[in-house]
Structure 1
Amino acid sequence: MALSAIDPRSALVLIDLQKGITSIPGAPFTPAEVIERGTRLATEFRLRGLPVVLVNVKATPPGRTEISLRSGTAAPDWTDLVPELDVQDTDIRVTKQSWGAFYGTSLDLELRRRGVTQIVLGGIATRFGVESTARAAHEHGYHVTVAVDACTDISADGHRASVEGVFPRLGETATTDEILATLP
C-alpha cells in the first residue's frame, strides 16, 4: 500500500546498519546507499523531535550453535554502528540476538513509553531483520511504513519479494524522499 501519512507520534527504526553487516554486498541497493538514506531519515526525525531507534545484532539467540558471533572470528568492531549515522544521546539503542528487533529486547517498551503509534523501517537485510521487525511491529499494533529504498538484501529478488509481497500486507511502503516529504 502506498504511503498515506506519517503519524505525528512516529519513530524511525534502522536495522543492522553496523560495520560487520554493511561490509557485505547488497542488492538492489548498496549498503552505502542504504546508509545515506537512513542517515537522511535519522537527521530529519531528530530535527522534528521524533524518536530514532538504532538496532544492531550482537549474537545468535542463546542455545543456537549453527551460526555464532561468539566464536571470536568476527572483527572486534563488527557490531559497531556505522559512523555516518552520527549516533546521538537521544537515540534509542537496541541490541538484538535474532532477526527481528522486538523479540527479547526492550524495543516495544521504549516505543510505548514515548507514545509511538507508527514505525518507519529501513536497514539490512530486507528479508531478514527488516521484514521480521515489520511483522512483529504489525503484530504489536503499530502502523508500519517501510522505506523501500533505505533497505537492501543479499538478493535483489529477495528484496523485491518482501517489498511487493509482504510489506503491503503489513502496512505502507514509500521511498525515502516520499517519507521525508510527508513527515509532520
Structure 2
Amino acid sequence: MALTTLDPKTALVVIDLQNAVVALPGTPYSTADVVARSVELANAFRKHQLPVILVRVDTTPGDSLPGRTERPRPSGGTIPPGAADIVDELAGHPEDIVVVKRNWGAFYGTDLDLHLRRRGITQLVFTGVATSIGVESSARAAYEHGYHVTLATDAMTDLNPDAHHNSLDWIFPRLGESGTTAEVLELLAKTHA
C-alpha cells in the first residue's frame, strides 16, 4: 500500500538501534544505512516538535524468557558495557523518549502506550532492526492498540532477507502503510508546513 498521509500527531518509533544490534550485518540494507535514515527521520520529527521514541532491548541477569522454542535464545546473561546503549548518532536528545523493552515488541511490559496516549499520538512511523522481529512485533501491537501504522521500509533491515521480505510483502500491508524515508519526510513537511 502506498503512503497516503501522516496525522498531525505522529511519533517516530525507532526499534533497537543500539550498539550491539547495529554491529550485526543487515539485509537488504546495512545497519549503518538504517541508522543514517533513522537519524534523518528523527531530526525531521524533532524539527516539527513531534515525539521520537528510542526503543532499546535490555535484559536483567537471571531473566529467562517464557515458553519453549526450537532455537536457543539468549538467557539474560551479562551484557558488555555499552552494548545496550542507543547509538551515538541518535542518543543525546533530552526531548526524546527512551523505552526499555525486555521482549521482542515495544509495547508489552513497557510504558510506551502511556507516553503516546498522554501526547495524543494517533500514528506511528517505525524504523529499526530487525524487520521481522522487533519492528514487526511492535507494529502489530501498535495496530492492535488502535494506532495508524506507517513503516519506513528503507529504514529497517533484518538478519534474514526472506524474513525481511515476508514482513514487507505479507504482514505490513495488513497493518498499515509503507513508504520510503523520502516519502515519509515529504508527507511530514506537507503536514507541518
TM bracket (short chain): over 0.9
Q: Report the Cα distance in structure 2 between the residues aligned to 1:112 and 1:69, rounded to whole angstroms.
A: 33
Match of 1:70 among 45, 70, 76: 76
For 1:85-130, what per-residue CA distance to the aligned partner results, in whole angstroms no more than 9, with x for missing partners?
A: 1431110110000000000000000000000000000000000000
2:16 is equivalent to residue 16 of structure 1: yes
3-state SS in 2 of match to 1:84: coil
Asked if the contact 2:64–2:75 (Cα under 8 Å) also holds between the matched residues in 1, the reply is no
Any idea what SS the aligned residue of 2:89 has? Answer: helix
Q: TM-score normalised to the size of structure 2?
A: 0.91
What SS does the aligned partner of 2:171 have?
A: helix
Query: 1:64 & 1:27 partners in 2: Cα distance?
Result: 26
Corresponding residue number in structure 2 for 1:136: 141
57-66 or 118-127, larger mean C-alpha shift? 57-66
Q: Which residue of 2 aligns with 1:156?
A: 161
RMSD: 1.5
Once the two structures are TM-superposed, the CA of residue 7 in structure 1 deviates from its matched residue by: 0.6
Distance 2:108 2:98 in 1: 15
2:65 is matched by which residue type in structure 1?
R
Between the aligned partners of 2:164 and 2:23, the Cα distance in structure 1 is 18
Q: Tell me, in whole angstroms, the C-alpha distance in 1 between the residues paired with 2:163 and 2:65.
A: 25
Q: Do the aligned partners of residues 138 and 116 (structure 1) sit closer, same or farther apart at CA in structure 2, a change above 3 Å counting?
A: same
Q: Which runs of 5+ in 2 are unaligned?
A: 67-71
CA distance in 1, matches of 2:35, 2:64: 32
Partner of 2:50 in structure 1?
50
Distance 2:158 2:64 in 1: 26
Q: Please give the alpha-carbon distance, in whole angstroms, between the structure 2 residues aligned to 1:10 and 1:49.
A: 10
Instruction: Tell me if the contact between 1:57 and 1:97 (Cα under 8 Å) persists in the aligned partners.
Output: yes
CA contact (8 A) 2:9 2:122 kept: yes
2: CA distance, partners of 1:77 / 1:69 = 18
Find the aligned partners of 1:117 and 1:134 in 2 and give their Cα distance: 13
Q: Tell me the number of residue pairs that the alignment of Structure 1 and Structure 2 aligns.
A: 183
Alignment of 1:168-179 (within 5 A): 168-179=173-184
CA distance in 1, matches of 2:181, 2:105: 21
Q: Specify the alignment match of 1:37 in structure 2.
A: 37
Q: Deviations over 1:65-94 (max 9, x none)?
A: 85346322x321110000011431110110
